Structure 1
Amino acid sequence: MMRSWDHWVEESLQKLQHLQLVGSLRPIHLHSAPALEAQKPIEDEFNVFDELQPWDRSAVQVQITEATFQKWVHDIPSSGDDDGIQSFKKLLLFSANDYLGLGSHPTIGKAAAKVALEHGMGPRSSALICGYTDYHRLLESCLADLKEKEDCLLCPTGFAANTSLMVALGSVGTLLAAGKTPSPDEKIAIFSDALNHASIIDGIRIADKQKSVQIFVYRHCDMNHLDALLSSCKIMKKVVVTDSVFSMDGDVAPMVELVKLRKEHDFLLVIDDVSPLGQSIKKVGPPY
């Protein structure tokens, strides 16, 4: 089935090429600003620390005013303003996205400061115009190696990545349709876990507005329900999308069962795998 999806994607790209809608990324190679070259360079110190360090705690320890705390606890609407001098309350954050504490790591800070001094804030433009640099391409290549994948495409946010992917998958049905609007058989059948991230759901909804997909929502991590939906679906192009780790609930998708269903029903399996990035997660045999 993966050969079929490769064929469908290739055919869709050919149609986009014919319509002159395929853009190319042309990396701009950045050079140090002349005025900054004479400054004392920041040393490349890529330190690794095995134990907890002071900055690890500072990354998750914050303080808020007592008034704001009470509004949070009692779910009282707030404009975000704190009036006057008030007492503060210290809290530990467990809801941010910096799981590995890289945002406060001194090595990351030095690297960010160095590149900002050498290149400023970079070209202010979209990637397709002139905002794509050799640094972006290097990061994409490194991330692809890290995830053991063929290639990587950077998006401005994780939310944008999921939304864009769902819309792109839906567009395959539109591009390969015989008419302007896909018939029921030409649509993409998307099977989504009930507790998938909002970015996935929004992307599917946009694709649905374009009348290019048929949406099926299966009960959270319920493989029997998913199996039943897949078995009764007559659409050829099927996609199953799920979080690997559900960030709002903390549970893990049944990856082994999903891979078994994929072999049985020949669907394209899409995994939002951002939460385990850089962490030790047990692999599920062959790449899924």
Structure 2
Amino acid sequence: MLIRWRVPKTIQWLVKLFLIYLFIFTAFRVATVICFKPKNIAVYELGSSFWLGLKYDLRWISFILLPIAVISLFPKLSPFYSERLKKIWTGYLGIITLLVLFFYGADFGQFAYINARLNADALIFAEDPQESLQMVWQSYPVIWILIGLIGAVLMMVWMFRRTHVGVEGKNVNVHKFTYRRRWHAAALLLLGWFMASYTNSTVPYADGFCTSVSFVAQILLTRKVLQNWLLWVFVDICYIPLFIYKHLNLSAVLYFVLIAIAYKGYLDWRKTYREQLN
């Protein structure tokens, strides 16, 4: 059910980003312990080291998120002010994540190769870049590392965007139906004709009608339109005789359940909508 949040959206997003980065940093530390822990050291003896590492990680996470927190004090620069700013801040986080994963990966690889953490001594490789790159190419599966790195960054950017959308969605008020019904009717007829002309359905117009209504209901749901639930109730009712005609009796029973769920959703949203008007 939709609710109103009093905490600023940027703060909500920063909290989620903080938890994501904390998970990344902690995962690398746990992986390091699993792969390189000396056999003569018990896990419980690493508590002080983990605590020191946690404080170090918290400091770096704060540095990463501080620009968003400070610059967002100006509302027109907030990641929730416009779609463009959302992309800019998400891009910033993507670049930072790429650097974090690269240096953590390099640290992990160097420790595996020479049993030493990444430090300023690594700058010696810059004296002869060609030879250093050749050594890296021969010592590590560079292609697979790059694929994994790019995939991880893309996944993290997707998570950043999803958390942004999640925060924004929780702060969007439910609003009433304001769309032009004649355009919806035209869309229904067009999609119904498409299903009849380009599919092998035995009941093309019925399938097309139900599919098109479901499509419109989904759009209204994403737009937080109150009446989307009534449209879902209507289309679920239409689906039941269609499934019975096709001898899909279990699907017909399922859609009886979906009718109840959709109507419950309508009652909850209507209650929230009335509360927002007061």
Which entry has the higher C-alpha Rg, 1 or 2? Answer: 2
The structure, 1 or 2, with the larger RCO (C-alpha pairs under 8 Å, 6+ apart) is 2
Q: Which has the higher strand share?
A: 1
**Fold shared per TM-score above 0.5:** no
TM-score, normalized by length of structure 1?
0.24
TM-score, normalized by length of structure 2?
0.24
Q: Which has the higher helix share?
A: 2
